[in-house]
Chain A
Amino acid sequence: MSIEVRNVTKRFGDFVALEDVSVSLPTGQLTALLGPSGGGKSTLLRIIAGLDTADEGTVTIEGTEATNLPARKRNVGFVFQHYAVFKHMTVAKNVAFGLEIRKKPKDEVAARVDELLRLVHLQQFSHRLPSQLSGGQRQRMALARALAVEPKVLLLDEPFGALDAKVRKELREWLRRLHDEVHVTTVFVTHDQEEAMEVSDEIVVINEGRVEQIGSPDDLYDKPANDFVMGFLGEVTRVNGEAVRPHDVDISTAPVLAGAAQGTISRVLRVGFEVRVTVLTDGGEEVTVQLTKAHANALGLHEDQTVWVSPNPGAVPAMSRAV
């Protein structure tokens, strides 16, 4: 295990930001800390980095007991949401900072900076000041700066949170590829479930200072441990009292399935290749069904039609039985 967080509790005055949190993160993986804003993700990341200290509990990084180690001795790369660029230094100087602090020889520093700027595609900007870069470029520079010191782990706090949607999408794909290239153990914080599912090997869901679930994106999506995780990772609808995803609801125009709920279509919404159907069941539930255009056309669905809906037997989340 690369990072071991054990029984960490953190309070700000009376407010409990983290309560008895334990997480183990394996070496070389890309892990997402996912959860709603204010859940304690940043606090946990900062405690791992040594920028904050836990009130109780321990942190071990690559087998080294780090609980009482100051940030500068943890050899952890940290990338901040608002970049935290050194405003008065050029891009090259920013990246060189950690190496110069470590008193590396000049030619070695120059070579490493050059290599890193290539890695983040900023080689032609090395003499610019950060203020002359776009947000995405600044964040790539901050990433190169953090990677320069060859950290044991790389921690990113909502690294793309301040960027617009398009750049954010580009950068997260790029981060995934970069990670496949560099292989440094990486933890990144996000409140965007799509980002977490798309990029990470493993997701830690954090809510109100507690870990709700740890698992692969598929695990979490298919077998959420509780209602919170299920709701946070994607849309949820209820059929016969059972929580399911809208695309896991079977819909038919005749009562072929035993136990299916009868109802009336109240709305048919076409979004691109997808059709969303709202069904009001006789039991008083409002069920959302998601299906492809072709499927909807084949069934000939229209408003005020009587239909039968039931959870797809192969896709009912385990949680509803297990928990």
Chain B
Amino acid sequence: MASQTVEATRTRDPHPRSTARGPHEDSPAVKWVMRVLVVAYLFFLVAWPTSLVAKNTFANGFQGISDALSDPDVVHALKLSAIVAVAAVLINLVFGVGMALLLVRFDFPGKRVLNALIDVPLSVSPVVVGLALVLVYNGRYGWFGPWLEDQGLQVVFAKPGMIMATAFVALPLVIREVVPVLEDMGDDQEQAARSLGANAWQTFWRITLPGIKWAIVYGVVLCLARSLGEFGAVKVVAGNVGGESTTAPMLVQQKYQNFQQETAYSVSFMLAFAAVLCLIVVALLRPKEGDKK
């Protein structure tokens, strides 16, 4: 599998310069039109709306932010979001790395099906994910919920369900980062470690993990950004139990509908800021990863 990947990258572009005199290069007009289109697209879709959020947040300087932070609902929602996101990221970290290893290093019946299933969370609407979880884990009529509730564990309308929903939605992110790196790395180094006396755990810890370290960091950061912002799935699972189970994105919606725009903007800004911070961290990590090669 690994050698196939290497072959593929090697043969992908045998004449990298042969298209240098293509139509785009020849015509400056086309080039300019393309540029303007891209910039306009990004501006109207991303930059302008986001900057308006920032503008509204800081309409009165830092007043908006500090007002929001003195609202106990806001603080509670931010905390809850952080807890849910971190828990979901940890779960996806462990399972993501495990599944990636399973998919790349082992052969088993049903591997292709599993491989396809991993992308389901990306293609299914988060609301559907939430509903599905409610159906299974609901304490009154779910398949599995009543039994769990008898054991004293409430899943739906509580933190465990919200964490599950978030983990589900962000599931592919770690796996899809780690799998290609594992394939590229091959299992030569792992075999060498085994022949030198390392057991499975030592091989993973000393050889595999350092090799996929940056892919994991990248996957985790993406996963964190995605988890912090998750709305649909969590909202369905959280139900209507008042402020107890309101996450930050849900709070934004509530506050906005209750004509507390100022607070809504401030919380939005904080969410966007956290996400951008994540992406900056990733951007800073990426070139480092390239240097190491």
Contacts and interface: CB of A to CB of B under 8 A. Distances in A.
A82 B185 CA distance: 12
B188 A84 contact: yes
A146 B191 contact: no
A37 to B, nearest CB: 15
Nearest to A93: B206
B189 A72 contact: no
A72 B207 contact: no
Contact of B197 (A84, A86, A101, A131): A101
Nearest to B185: A87
A72 B191 contact: no
Contacts of B193: 86, 97
B188 A86 contact: no
B192 interface: yes
B195 A87 contact: no
A149 interface: yes
B211 interface: yes
Interface residues of A, number: 30
Contacts of B207: 86
A188 interface: no
Which of A50, A82, A86, A146 has the most CB atoms of chain B within a 10 A radius of its CB? A86
A97 B196 contact: yes
A217 interface: no
A109 to B, nearest CB: 13
Contacts of B211: 87-88
B191 A78 contact: yes
A37 B133 CA distance: 54
Contacts of B293: 131
B199 interface: yes
Contacts of B189: 84-87
A76 interface: yes
Interface in B240-293: 292-293
Report, as a range, how many residues of chain B touch the other chain. Answer: 10 to 19
Contacts of A83: 188
A74 B191 CA distance: 13
A179 B192 CA distance: 21
B197 A78 contact: no
A148 B192 CA distance: 13
Contacts of A145: 192, 196
B202 interface: yes
Interface string B200-224: 0010001100110000000000000
Given A86-B207, A88-B210, A88-B211, A72 B192 contact: no
Interface string A40-70: 0000000001110000000000000000001
Contacts of A76: 195
A77 interface: yes
Nearest to B187: A84
A98 B203 CA distance: 11
Which of A73, A75, A88, A148 has the most CB atoms of chain B within a 10 A radius of its CB? A88
B35 interface: no
A101 B192 CA distance: 13
A295 B47 CA distance: 87
A102 interface: yes
A131 to B, nearest CB: 8
A78 B198 contact: no
A94 B86 CA distance: 36
A71 interface: yes
A221 interface: no
A77 B195 contact: yes
Contacts of A50: 195
Contact of B196 (A82, A85, A131, A146): A146
A101 B196 contact: yes
B191 A84 contact: yes
Interface of A: 49-51, 70-78, 80, 82-88, 97-98, 101-102, 131, 142, 145-146, 148-149
29 contacts: A71-B191, A71-B194, A72-B195, A72-B196, A72-B197, A72-B199, A74-B195, A75-B197, A78-B195, A80-B188, A80-B191, A84-B188, A84-B189, A84-B192, A85-B189, A86-B189, A86-B192, A86-B193, A87-B189, A88-B292, A97-B206, A98-B196, A101-B197, A101-B198, A101-B202, A102-B197, A142-B192, A145-B196, A148-B196
Query: Which 10 pairs of residues, A with B, have the shortest CB-CB distance?
Result: A84-B188, A98-B196, A78-B195, A84-B192, A88-B210, A71-B194, A101-B197, A72-B197, A71-B195, A101-B198
Given A84-B191, A86-B207, 19 more contacts: A51-B195, A71-B195, A72-B197, A72-B199, A73-B197, A78-B192, A78-B195, A80-B188, A85-B189, A86-B193, A87-B211, A88-B211, A97-B196, A97-B206, A98-B197, A101-B202, A102-B197, A131-B293, A149-B196
